[in-house]
Amino acid sequence: MRSNSQHYVDPVDDAERTYLESLIREDFEQCHPDDSLDDMKRRSAFSKEDRGLLRDWLAVAAVRAARLREMSRPMIAAE
């Protein structure tokens, strides 16, 4: 995943995009009950508002993914 200091996330492939979306899909649809993540993704192709919303949600997903990676690392005991 590529990102810059402005919280722009660019998944490197479809598998990563699918994983990131899985981390936010339920929350997105809870926050936007009359919308779906897939519909917003389609609109983002021609709507800068939806493009910005998608960017922000993917930034949330990237933070969640980083936390999950950190939690899955084995702890090294101090000697």
Answer yes or no: are the C-beta atoms of 20 and 58 closer than 8 Å.
yes
Confirm whether 78 is domain-assigned.
Answer: no
Q: In the chain, how many domains are there?
A: 1
Phi, psi dihedral angles at 4 (to 5 degrees) = -125, 180
Among 70, 51, 61, 67, smallest CA distance to 26 is for 61
Confirm whether 42 is domain-assigned.
Answer: yes
Across 53-64, average pLDDT: 93
Confirm whether 36 is domain-assigned.
Answer: yes
Answer yes or no: are the C-beta atoms of 57 and 24 closer than 8 Å.
yes
For residue 65, the enclosing domain spans 2-72
31-35, 46-50, 71-75: lowest mean pLDDT where?
71-75
- Fill in the amino acid letter for 33: P
Confirm whether 52 is domain-assigned.
Answer: yes
Confirm whether 58 is domain-assigned.
Answer: yes
Confirm whether 12 is domain-assigned.
Answer: yes
Q: Is the pLDDT of residue 75 over 80?
A: no
Q: Is the pLDDT of residue 18 over 50?
A: yes
Q: Give the pLDDT score at 71.
A: 86
Confirm whether 50 is domain-assigned.
Answer: yes
Answer yes or no: are the C-beta atoms of 62 and 1 closer than 8 Å.
yes
Q: Is the pLDDT of residue 50 over 90?
A: yes
